[in-house]
Structure 1
Amino acid sequence: MPPINVLVVDDSALMRRLITRFLEEDPQKPPIKVLDSAANGQEALEKAVRLRPDVVTLDVEMPVLDGLATLERLMRQHPVPVIMLSAHTTEGAQATIKALALGAVDFVAKPARREDMPQMVNDLRFKVRAASQAVLRWPGGRPARPLAVVRPVQTTRQAVPPAGAVGISGGSGGRYSAGVIAVSHTAAASQPSPIGAPEVAAGPVRQSGRIQLVVIGSSTGGPAALQQIIPRLPANLGATVVVVQHLPVGFSGPMAEHLDRKSAIKVRHAQQGDQLRPGEVLVAPAGYDLTFRGRPGNVSVFLDPGQGPVPPGGFRPSVDVTMLSAAEVLGNQCMGVLLTGMGRDGALGMQAIFRSGGLTIAEHESTCVVYGMPRAAVELGAANRVLPLPEIAAEIVKNI
């Protein structure tokens, strides 16, 4: 099994040595190999072209050519998955959000205290491995395959799947439909799928209740994906949107501010007790699980800091927690949207919304940076629609 080849870029000689050691001591397979290191952005650009690493770790603050300028040139000249290393400061957080918008796959916050170092090491290893599987899809990037053409395919049999049924069927088997368009899901397709291709089953019939809440969940590649959705929503959208993006504490507020500056719709950091109001986007604060209390027409936000640290493999905020709560409180008046990300967070929440009669949309593999979370929802049969990223905003607006 070939190693994951990494280029480490940091102006601190100590950090270059530490990062190299941390990555190469990772016992998991495949091994991580640091090809070389660079002390500034200009050196990094030269070595990236020559060495062709699988992943680059890139410091935000550097002399000669800083991290943002380096990233922008890398994405244009030699696209490669990049993990940013950010200072745990307001300025560092703002620069990191800009970096994610420019095409960085993910980031790791440098530890503010010595005791935070083990968490940073674990995050860095995990995210380097995730980045090695990423497919760049930003302007100037290199898609691994042509963008699939995904078209709605009307199913024929008017039947509702039983609770718990897996909604992937094909061939001569029945195709579940309940008056909702099912979207064909075929990886790497370049033409519309034939009617006989495997399809994503429609959920229970939605009643006439208007959508009051849209929950959007994302992880690796999410900040860039959100910029293709939130700025395309109108200021007078007739529902509240809640964004649950996996981020460390201190970074969700700057992301909300960044999206607000780019959008007609109002975007802000969610606070305890916020009422759900149409025409507003609430970004879940990092470090808290966001749930809902009340009943349709009078729903408020509840933020739970949880008990102790997040367990390995878990997240706070958790997409599952927010979507499960949305389904419980709002039933068929909520919509779930699951975007790019590693792992399975959000799949069970999408299933709950699906079963409640709400609408669920999963991002198609052809536009995901990491096709993990949407895949898990599709495999559960929990997606009414599977769409490429550029079509999702219009689909949200059309169904509200």
Structure 2
Amino acid sequence: MPFRVLVVDDSNFFQHRLKDIINEHPELKVVGIASNGREAVDKAAELKPDIITMDFEMPVMDGVTAIKHIMSNRRVPILMFSSLTYEGAKITLDALAAGALDFIPKDFAEVSRNSEVLKRKLHERLITLASSGSRSVVPPLATMTPPSTPAPTVATPSSFKPIASPAPTTAARAIPTVPDEPVKTSGADNYRLKNKPKILVIGASTGGPVALAEVLIALPANFPLPIVLVQHMPENFTKAFAERLNKQCHIRVREAVDGDQLQPGLALLAPGGKQLMLDKRNGGSVRVLPDDERVNYKPSLDITFGSAANNYGDKVLGVVLTGMGSDGCNGARLLKDAGSSLWSQDEASCVIYGMPMAVARAGLTDKVLSLKEIGPRLVREVM
């Protein structure tokens, strides 16, 4: 039975093109169309779709407000159509905070020319998100605030080739097939980091903006490690996301620029559309490099993990959060070969259990943790 889709958009052209594109896939069927947010709320309650596509700028009620109303009645996966601008990024982050699971660029040119790339991308996202159901246990970003308890004062501690990840072309390939290995689930009382890390690298994709916020909000201002963040996002989005995180967290967060120094309590977010590598010389810094066509993800966690392994050996703590695909698995292998530690998010708390599943099933994970455990566990193990 195909997944039932509700299309929400105020453009008649976009409504009908989306309907035609979505209905081309045998696993998808458009069961309703809404022209504004208010109508979307009513039709979501009436039709109970498996997934909703949502525009952000509409009359009567905007997309973000509609998401809040829909989620208050019944949790349903929502895919946002977003403008690839700084302002569009801020609105999209508001939508993710309200409960949307993912976003896709709204490109009238691609829709008009019946782009096969757009079709594959849209079909894959809709099927994958609809398959995840209403699983999203993370509190909305808008309501998450830093803990009020002051953090204790502690003393601060003292040639890689890009790995191309094949682009997933179907929903089935979004969750990678890898050999089944026992997942390491060390007990909370007996697991300890084998080496004291000098840097923390965290990667995520689908569901990552909310997950990263939950982890980082738990860290105190005097967190003793420099942090590097890799979130699959387009150009323009990462700047807005870093600014949002910086307002929410005790630690400092900003979008990385080439040459930025690594500092304790500072999280540098890899810019969208580029790659981020590490350089341990002169106290440690980041290199922000132009896009490489051989690499599917921009930024890629594989590249940053591999660079961390090259520069810091066994002194890295890598964390893989929710996300579609398997980016990070090859880089995680390099981290493990160098003697570093790796944690991954558990299936129950992931929006999409793809990236964490890949490293766990490959036997690369030292510790599997729920999302709510990761931040507090970082404080306990590192400080």
- Pairwise TM-score range, normalised by the shorter structure: 0.7 to 0.9
Distance (whole Å) between structure 2 residues aligned to residue 319 and residue 219 of structure 1: 10
Letter aligned with residue 376 of structure 1: A
Normalization by structure 1: what TM-score? 0.79
Q: Report the CA distance between 1:168 and its aligned residue.
A: 4.1
Cα displacement string for residues 293-328 of structure 1 (whole angstroms, at most 9, x for unaligned residues): 234x622211222344x66xx211111111111111
Distance (whole Å) between structure 2 residues aligned to residue 254 and residue 139 of structure 1: 20
Normalization by structure 2: what TM-score? 0.82
Q: What is the total number of aligned residue pairs between the two structures?
A: 340
Of the structure 1 ranges 110-119 and 3-12, higher mean CA displacement relative to structure 2 is found in 110-119
Residues 348 and 11 of structure 1, relative CA distance in 2, 3 Å threshold: same
1:301 paired to 2:283: no
Distance (whole Å) between structure 1 residues aligned to residue 223 and residue 118 of structure 2: 39
Residues 350 and 367 of structure 1, relative CA distance in 2, 3 Å threshold: same
Letter aligned with residue 264 of structure 2: P
In structure 2, stretches of 5+ residues that fail to align are 141-178
Give the 3-state SS of the residue equivalent to 1:183 in structure 2. Answer: coil
1:35 paired to 2:43: no
Residues 99 and 169 of structure 1, relative CA distance in 2, 3 Å threshold: closer
Q: Report the CA distance between 1:356 and its aligned residue.
A: 2.0
Give the 3-state SS of the residue equivalent to 1:79 in structure 2. Answer: coil
1:77 paired to 2:73: yes
Q: Report the CA distance between 1:333 and its aligned residue.
A: 1.4
Residues 73 and 183 of structure 1, relative CA distance in 2, 3 Å threshold: farther
Q: Report the CA distance between 1:117 and its aligned residue.
A: 7.1
Matches within 5 A, 1:28-177: 30-111=26-107, 113=109, 118=115, 119-134=117-132, 135-139=135-139, 168-169=181-182
Distance (whole Å) between structure 2 residues aligned to residue 3 and residue 49 of structure 1: 19
Q: Report the CA distance between 1:169 and its aligned residue.
A: 4.5
- Structure holding more helix per residue: 2
Which residue pairs with 1:235 in the alignment?
221
Give the 3-state SS of the residue equivalent to 1:227 in structure 2. Answer: helix
Distance (whole Å) between structure 1 residues aligned to residue 324 and residue 308 of structure 2: 22
Letter aligned with residue 48 of structure 1: A
User: Which of 181, 194, 199 is matched with 1:206 structurally?
Assistant: 194
Which residue pairs with 2:2 in the alignment?
3
Distance (whole Å) between structure 2 residues aligned to residue 294 and residue 266 of structure 1: 20
1:259 paired to 2:274: no
Letter aligned with residue 29 of structure 2: K
In structure 1, stretches of 5+ residues that fail to align are 141-165, 176-181, 185-191, 193-201
Q: Report the CA distance between 1:167 and its aligned residue.
A: 9.6
Letter aligned with residue 183 of structure 1: S
Letter aligned with residue 348 of structure 2: S
Residues 139 and 231 of structure 1, relative CA distance in 2, 3 Å threshold: closer
Matches within 5 A, 1:275-314: 275-295=261-281, 298-308=283-293, 314=296
1:183 paired to 2:168: no
Which residue pairs with 2:338 in the alignment?
356
Give the 3-state SS of the residue equivalent to 2:314 in structure 1. Answer: helix
User: Higher RCO, 1 or 2 (CA under 8 Å, sep at least 6)?
Assistant: 2
Give the 3-state SS of the residue equivalent to 1:80 in structure 2. Answer: coil
% identical equivalent positions: 37
Distance (whole Å) between structure 2 residues aligned to residue 271 and residue 344 of structure 1: 26
Does the 8 Å contact 1:212/1:278 carry over to 2? no
Distance (whole Å) between structure 1 residues aligned to residue 221 and residue 353 of structure 2: 30
Does the 8 Å contact 2:336/2:364 carry over to 1? yes
Q: Report the CA distance between 1:232 and its aligned residue.
A: 1.5
RMSD over aligned Cα, in angstroms? 2.6
Which residue pairs with 1:20 in the alignment?
19
